[in-house]
A and B are shown apart, each in its own frame.
Chain A
Amino acid sequence: MGNKIGVYVCHCGTNIAGKVDCEHVAKYAGGLRDVVVARDYQFMCSDPGQDMIIRDIRDYGLNRVVVASCSPRLHEKTFQKACQRGGLNPYLMQHCCIREHCSWVTADRGEATAKARRIVEASVNRVGRHRELFTRDVDVLPDVMVVGAGIAGIQAALDIARSGHRVHLVEQGPSIGGHMAQFDKTFPTLDCAACISTPKMVAVAQEPNINLLTWSEVVDVSGFVGNYTVTVLRKARYVNEDVCTGCGTCLEKCPTKVLSDFEEKLAFRKAIYRNSPQAVPNTPVIDAAHCKMITKGKCGICQKVCPTGAIDYNAVERREVYHVGSVVLATGYDTMDPTVMSEYGFGRFEEVYTALQFERLNNAVGPTGGRILMKNGQPPESVAIIHCVGSRDKNYHEYCSRTCCMYALKYDHLIKDKVGHHARVYNFYIDMRCFGKGYEEFYRRVQEEGVTFIRGRPAEVVREDGHLVVVGEDTLLGMRVRVPVDMVVLCTAMEPRRNAQDVARVFGVSQGQDGFFLEEHPKLGPVSTATDGVFLAGSCQGPKDIPDAVSHASGGAAQALALAARGHVSISPTTSYIDPEVCIGCKVCIGLCPYSAIEFDERRKVSVINEAMCKGCGSCAGYCPSGAAQIKHFRESQVFDEIDGLLGMHAPEGPCGESAESSANVQAGEPA
């Protein structure tokens, strides 16, 4: 049977038709070989548009379909499904893009139309070579892994666990809670962070469906959607979690003091420590680099005082393997170290703090017991809060960190509240971005509390006569300002975690320009990634405040659950195939395959693909010296014909081919 091709050119309103003469392109396509019907239509992705394809498949006996509209990354599946509904194998359809790669980026209408014609012709050429392909269904393992146990990871884990699915929650730190555990109050409600996060942390510990793996890291991931094998490194804690009661005697007796990262280096912790009294789990961990018993073999006090004998200096790390259907990444963010911006004096002047340090100054279990105090033990009489430190700055991070305006306002309020209303607070800002529910109202409230707002990024912080002076310009007044203050708080940028690149590599996700993990689509796919079965939650995808992180996490959980609950997933059939008649048995492909999906059949002396493991990357096909290895749907003949079409190798005579059906265009609202 010969090919009967239907071509559909979408106007996409004026998105395509504004630059491409769609009617002309459809007419041209109508004159191409094997094309029996060619139409242009306002919106191909609409129901009437899809119905048009389905009806034509029946009426004209179409066995190939070409849709020219937006990017196949957006709507290829839509039209594949439409073909399927019309009784046509979805792989006998070719979707080509005349919007993102043509109408939207071409200045001239004539040129855009000519380019669209070529693109359509290439697809018509190519689709003639398409073959029926069938997706395979594979089972999805019911368990889910969540990586990172900040507020996003916690939320995702709880959502999944409460549906009845088992969750392995991996956290690299000794306890869960992430950055939120360091905060005191949250904007704009001034809820106490611990009051709202501790119940969730405890719920995680008590949830029987959650397997909590703290002090652990994912070191290897293999497999594919629905069937991931994850190797988790359980670092040596030196404290037996099953025996320890969390009494804390060891912490009191340990003689070694180390600057605490959790306290942002404002206080000391012991060599055996936990982040805070509310830590979940409350089992301490021994910092092997500083423990005198482990480094020098002298001390051993914690072991002596431990009432349950939980201390084990000889503990070793171990690897555990988990089989999960999907993964939710919630690895969070780091705050920028402002030392590099030496003009602000962080690290040089002791009363210059980062935002996270200031959070600790406010925290009831922090180094000052929740009082805002300077190093000399006195409360500051005046504080400068510098916004956008490292954010919205071409030299550091171009993006806005989204949370700083609001936490700066929170600090304004807290200073007025805790130090007293006589305390002067100066905000140096570029723009105020109070975009959330109740945020603008909070801004107004803080303004009414008598806080000073100065528009303009300060030039530097200097020290004169023992006082800090912020030097800058008030760009609204057009005047230079010099503001003497006791304390400076730097609203530091949120940036990708230091190890984001390693995590990205292990899980096979991409990073965007900023280094945050790249979502599948910035608008419509903000939780999924290009790797099926790996989802994102929270600030590992980009700066987020708590409500955004929590809702993003619930979104990630829902996606993972959708997979787990359905129990099976369709795998693309566009894998490799090695023609045994052509294969010369050179084995080149075997060494090239990154997934070990090719084996050698000793009896027939040919290479054989294991389709369950093949992901269709084409490493074998591109190198096969005999042409035996081919990627289905990207076969040599298909690519060759596409190239011919793009280059106009078989273009019919004349500027626009005519055929009986080519005038069968339909206008909006009256499909033929």
Chain B
Amino acid sequence: MNPVAEVVVSIALLLGCLLTVLAAVGLLRLSDLLARMHTTAKPQVLGVLLALVGVGLQLHRATDIAMIVAIGAFQLLTVPVAAHMVGRAAYRTGQVDPSVLAHDDLAEELERERRSAG
């Protein structure tokens, strides 16, 4: 393996691990659920993608590369969906303090639904 690729792999893996540490520290230090969700999405997407780049530069078989691309695409598709559902569940169960929100679109939406129903 050539030295340039070696350096790129090392940097990618180190950056991915660093993102994970930062997210975990944010998980401990930030105060409410929405702020914590904001940090946790970073290692789930960018951290995993960097780690996959680190692995992908070392492998040469087409099946391995295809699987790595599939994992990356899967993370890109599923992490936002999961975060969206967790955020909505937090709002529904009253765990989000409305005073910290700059603009509350969901409240307007629910209000409109209630008025059209009643």
Q: Do A and B bind each other?
A: no
**Residues of A in contact with B (beta carbons under 8 Å apart):** none
